[in-house]
Amino acid sequence: MRLRGSVVALPLVLPFLVVAAACAPQDSSPSASDSNSGSPASCAKADLPLIKPGTLTIGTDSPAYDPWFSNNDPTNGKGYESAVAYAVADQLGFSRDEVTWVKVPFNSSYKPGAKNFDFDINQISITPARAKVVDFSDGYYAAAQAVIALKGSKASEATSLADLKDLKLGAQTGTTSLTAIRDVIQPSQDPAVFEDTNAAKQALLNHQVDAILADLPTAFYISAVEIPNSTIVGQFQPETGQQEEFGMLFQKGSGLVPCVNEALATLKSDGTLADLEKKWLSDVVNVPTLQ
């Protein structure tokens, strides 16, 4: 999926306030194509290949979920991904008022073709299949998958991945959570596929599925705030021997990637990413690992 036990208090979801733009990619005019091809001579602000000169355009989905964003508003700088995006923007030389957000449905973000954003940040896992048609930054968060079930249910008693095989599982379409169900758990019945996390949560409440999967931080928020009668059954890594990571997504061939990677390297080395993770995401303790 886009999923983290002590649970920290997290902000409630309020109506979405977003600087909207068309969800479909913009036409690839010659100037837009030229601005996104090749690496800049330097990472000075004036040299950056941008969709709109002087403005950093960032994409994310709507709704924008806690704890990645706060109050369903990516523009407020609150929530882990909003805070990371603005920290990267600052490293690149952009003030807050020089950052514009556009709405990009999750499934549309990693489709091939021209983009209407400079980068998208939306819990998008870096995968070889996606990297064939888009570019990714270095990872800014290492995620595990988590299984969420209602307390007292059969699913809540699972202690291994094998215990989940005969259950009805669900996840959001196009996510690594759904891939993890199919490829790692390999249940005996087809998983339920939902358009977004809200639909998955409602299906769990309605007992239409036994459990749903999400990235661990999202699972903490769901269990603590949105479905208090639920529990995190356990966590696991979807790819054996490899840590799943979220990366910022770019149009294929974007020259902005090395400059964003340079900004992320600075934010890692000076402790900013660790501080933001501690502030906005729950600790990943006391959640058993499912094998």
Q: How many domains would you assign to the chain?
A: 2
What's the mean per-residue pLDDT of the chain? 85
Question: Binning pLDDT at 50, 70 and 90, where does residue 282 land?
Answer: low
Mean pLDDT score, 75-94: 98
pLDDT digits (tens, 9 = 90+) for 260-270: 999 999 999 99
pLDDT(106) > 70: yes
Among 137, 139, 138, 135, residue whose Cα is nearest residue 37: 135
Question: Binning pLDDT at 50, 70 and 90, where does residue 24 land?
Answer: very low
Q: Which two tokens stand for residue 195?
A: 């358009």
Mean pLDDT score, 153-176: 95
Whether 172 and 116 map to the same domain: the answer is no
pLDDT on residue 34: 37
Which one is predicted more confidently, 200 or 12?
200
Q: Which two tokens stand for residue 235?
A: 């966590």
Domain assignment of residue 291, yes or no: no
pLDDT on residue 114: 95
Which one is predicted more confidently, 148 or 35?
148
pLDDT(5) > 90: no
Whether 149 and 222 map to the same domain: the answer is yes
pLDDT on residue 11: 36
pLDDT(239) > 70: no
Domain assignment of residue 187, yes or no: yes
Whether 116 and 208 map to the same domain: the answer is no
Domain assignment of residue 63, yes or no: yes
Residue 185 domain boundaries: 145-236
pLDDT on residue 242: 60
Measured at the alpha carbon of residue 221, what is the angle toward residues 239 and 246, in degrees to the nearest 5?
35
Domain assignment of residue 78, yes or no: yes
Question: Binning pLDDT at 50, 70 and 90, where does residue 36 land?
Answer: very low
pLDDT(13) > 90: no
Among 72, 58, 78, residue whose Cα is nearest residue 119: 58
Whether 54 and 120 map to the same domain: the answer is yes
Domain assignment of residue 125, yes or no: yes
Whether 138 and 37 map to the same domain: the answer is yes
Domain assignment of residue 2, yes or no: no
Whether 64 and 105 map to the same domain: the answer is yes
Q: Are 49 and 254 in contact (CB under 8 A)?
A: yes
Mean pLDDT score, 241-250: 83
Whether 76 and 209 map to the same domain: the answer is no
What CATH number is attached to the domain comprising 34? 3.40.190.10
Q: Which two tokens stand for residue 196?
A: 């977004």
| Residues whose CB is less than 8 angstroms from the CB of residue 171 and which lie 6 or more positions away in sequence, other chains included | 1, 177, 178, 180, 181, 191, 192, 193, 194, 200, 212, 213, 214
Whether 122 and 253 map to the same domain: the answer is yes
Whether 79 and 136 map to the same domain: the answer is yes
Q: b/e map of 127-142 (b: 16 or more CB within 10 Å)?
A: beebeeebbbbebbbe
Domain assignment of residue 275, yes or no: yes
Residue 209 amino acid letter: V
Whether 41 and 115 map to the same domain: the answer is yes
pLDDT on residue 238: 75
- Kindly report whether the peptide bond that precedes residue 74 is cis, defined as omega within 30 degrees of 0: no
Whether 40 and 134 map to the same domain: the answer is yes
pLDDT(107) > 50: yes
| Residues whose CB is less than 8 angstroms from the CB of residue 246 and which lie 6 or more positions away in sequence, other chains included | 2, 123, 124, 125, 126, 139, 140, 141, 142, 143
Which one is predicted more confidently, 133 or 31?
133
Domain assignment of residue 151, yes or no: yes
Whether 104 and 129 map to the same domain: the answer is yes
